[in-house]
Amino acid sequence: MRYFLALACAFALARMALAADHGPVFSYATPVNSQGELSFDAGITGRYGSSGTQFSTGSGFGYGLTPHITLNAFLPATFGTGSYPESRIVSGSEWSAGASWRFLHSVTSVGRRTESTASLGVVVPGPQRDFGVLGSLHRAPGIAGTLATGLASRSQYLWVGGGYTRFAEASSDRRPDTVSWSGVYGYRPAKLRRGYDQWDYRGFAELTGEHTGDVRSGGAVLPNSSSTTVWLGPSVLAIFKDVAIEGGVQGPVFRDVSESVYGREKVRFAINFSYLKFSSHTNSH
Amino acid sequence: MKKTLIAGILAISSLAAHAEYQEVSLTVFGMDCAPCAHAIHVSMKGIQGVQTVDVNLNTGLVSIKLAPGNTAALRQFNEAVEKNGFTHKDANVVVRGTLSGTASAPFLEVSGTKDRFALAPIASGSNLTAVLGKTVIVTGTLPQAAKGKVPDSLRYKTITEAR
């Protein structure tokens, strides 16, 4: 029982600081659920390139334990083809769980706040195998940590963040460690700074990057299996009260990937739907 | 018949003495988007006795109107803001309560809640001797208190005897 509880808590962490409901679709951001808020995300992400298209659909759950701590779980499923490097920005086949803690939170004026959020979680292999090189590896769980900081206001948003994921070894195989980072700028035009009972729109420019280490297979390092990529693209978030829809697309601006190991990835895209169930409960009378 | 009459008199007298918040307006800090405002709206509406909630995202102003006879306490409004990760500045209130203490050190007691405030005038003070011990309607400002706390004083603008 304790094992399952730990696993459940750990699960909640992996996608943690990565966007969904309140923020950008690819990048790390700081928002967490309010106390008692239940959030449900469902979306699809895709990676298109020379070796085909790889899709990942996923369901994410979040629960606001306190105003600043949220438990998360993310359970994706993959389909399609494509042999691309490990990515923690675009979800793969790993299930994950963990917690996000907004440890810095400054709200000193109307419509503006600055905050920092750290997340820690467990990533475990899902029931499906990956594609290409990574699909042939024995898989083991890993841990993922992220950190994001930035500001949110009625007109502008700015967040920077980074994350690190490390997998354990299984039968002398090991998935590559992944370092990922992001910077995102968001803007809501004056005409769209409307009442909360109307659709709320904002646009983002998202810059993300990832470096994946060497793949270990059978105890040996697979030559040229490390990769570094940087991606840039727009995304749009639309929210009406407790429902959010967001979508974005990115193209590569830097790519150091061996095409003898991986396919040439050209486009990343994502669409996400969120439902937010806010709590009306207050403790005291 | 006698019992019904007594019950009726008691009901009328308790209604006459009832104290409650009638309006509460808070300037909330940190709300940047529609879900933030919606979360505040849902939280405020969850407080028993709240009739209407209006949230203005651009000014941060949250205006609440309450039903007669409610027992909502100020702490609940504070919690509704804090649980969503926000803070608020002063709260402007229209509150009905009983004036106690003395003319020089008056208190407002909001029966049905544990709220009790020392009264201080915003501008020049009025002579409160005539309304001591009576049910009054006070308009004024409750200063921002530390997180989880309720202020112990109310800076009043007007005090009128409730009719």
pLDDT in tens, A194-212: 988 899 999 999 999 999 9
Name chain A contacts of B84, Cβ cutoff 8 Å: 34-35, 67, 278
Which residues of chain B are modeled with pLDDT < 50?
Answer: 7-16
Provide the shortest C-alpha distance from residue B16 to chain A (in Å).
Answer: 22
Name chain A contacts of B150, Cβ cutoff 8 Å: none
> Does some domain include residue B48?
yes
Cβ separation A105–B42 shorter than 8 A = no
> Does some domain include residue B81?
yes
Query: Which pLDDT belongs to residue B18?
Result: 66
> Does some domain include residue B9?
no
Q: Are A172 and A97 in contact (CB under 8 A)?
A: no
Cβ separation A241–B32 shorter than 8 A = no
Pairing of strands B50-55, B61-66: antiparallel
Q: Are A99 and A121 in contact (CB under 8 A)?
A: yes
* pLDDT(A264) > 50: yes
Query: Which pLDDT belongs to residue A134?
Result: 87
> Does some domain include residue A282?
no
Query: Which of A19-23, A78-82, B7-11 shows the highest mean pLDDT?
Result: A78-82
> Does some domain include residue A70?
yes
Name chain A contacts of B37, Cβ cutoff 8 Å: 195-196
Split at pLDDT 50, 70, 90, the class of A17 is very low
Query: Which pLDDT belongs to residue A91?
Result: 81
- Domain holding B110, by residue range, is 18-161
> Does some domain include residue A135?
yes
Split at pLDDT 50, 70, 90, the class of A169 is very high
Query: Which pLDDT belongs to residue B15?
Result: 44
Provide the shortest C-alpha distance from residue A160 to chain B (in Å).
Answer: 18
> Does some domain include residue B5?
no
Query: Which pLDDT belongs to residue B52?
Result: 97
* pLDDT(A148) > 50: yes
Picking from B34, B73, B80, the nearest residue to A200 by CB comes out as: B34
A112 touches chain B (CB under 8 A): yes
Query: Which pLDDT belongs to residue A92?
Result: 81
Cβ separation B34–A278 shorter than 8 A = no
A154 touches chain B (CB under 8 A): yes
Picking from B56, B73, B83, the nearest residue to A34 by CB comes out as: B83
Query: So what's the ipTM on this one?
Result: 0.83
> Does some domain include residue B131?
yes
Buried b / exposed e along A54-78 (16+ C-beta atoms within 10 A): bbbbbebbbbbbebbbbbbbbbbbb
Query: Which pLDDT belongs to residue B2?
Result: 55
- Domain holding A162, by residue range, is 2-277
* pLDDT(A20) > 80: no
> Does some domain include residue B150?
yes
B111 touches chain A (CB under 8 A): no
Query: Which pLDDT belongs to residue B149?
Result: 86
Question: Long-range contacts: B12-19, Cβ < 8 Å, 24+?
Answer: B15/B69, B16/B135, B17/B98, B17/B111, B17/B135, B18/B68, B18/B69, B18/B96, B18/B111, B18/B112, B19/B95, B19/B96, B19/B97, B19/B98, B19/B109, B19/B110, B19/B111, B19/B112, B19/B113, B19/B135
- Rounded to the nearest integer, the mean pLDDT of chain A is 89
Q: State the best of B25, B33, B47, B61 to mutate against chain A, taking most chain A CBs within 10 Å.
A: B33
Q: Give me the residues paired with residue A60 across strands.
A: A41, A74
> Does some domain include residue A284?
no
**CA-based torsion, B144, B149, B150, B153: positive or negative:** negative
Cβ separation B76–A284 shorter than 8 A = yes
Listed by number, the residues of chain A in 191-250 with a beta carbon closer than 8 Å to a beta carbon of chain B are 193-196, 198-200, 202, 239-242, 244
Query: Which pLDDT belongs to residue A21?
Result: 58
pLDDT in tens, A222-241: 999 999 999 999 999 999 98
Query: Which pLDDT belongs to residue A238?
Result: 94
A150 touches chain B (CB under 8 A): no
> Does some domain include residue A97?
yes
Residue A135 sits in a domain whose CATH number is 2.40.160.40
Query: Which pLDDT belongs to residue B4?
Result: 54
Query: Which pLDDT belongs to residue B55?
Result: 96
Cβ separation A68–B87 shorter than 8 A = no
Residue B107 sits in a domain whose CATH number is 3.30.70.100
Rounded CA-CA distance A118/A163 in Å is: 10
Picking from B29, B47, B73, the nearest residue to A108 by CB comes out as: B29
A29 touches chain B (CB under 8 A): no
C-alpha closest to that of A209 among A55, A14, A28: A28
- Report how many domains make up chain A: 1
> Does some domain include residue B138?
yes
- Indicate the pTM of the whole model: 0.86
SS3 of B125, please?
Answer: coil
Direct distance between the N- and C-terminal alpha carbons of chain B, in angstroms, rounded to an integer: 29
Pick the residue with more confidence: A119 or A197? A119
- Report how many domains make up chain B: 1
B92 touches chain A (CB under 8 A): no
Name chain B contacts of A22, Cβ cutoff 8 Å: 33, 35
Rounded CA-CA distance B40/B24 in Å is: 14
> Does some domain include residue B92?
yes
A277 touches chain B (CB under 8 A): no
- The CA-based angle A49-A55-A59, given to 5 degrees, is 150
Query: Which pLDDT belongs to residue B11?
Result: 43
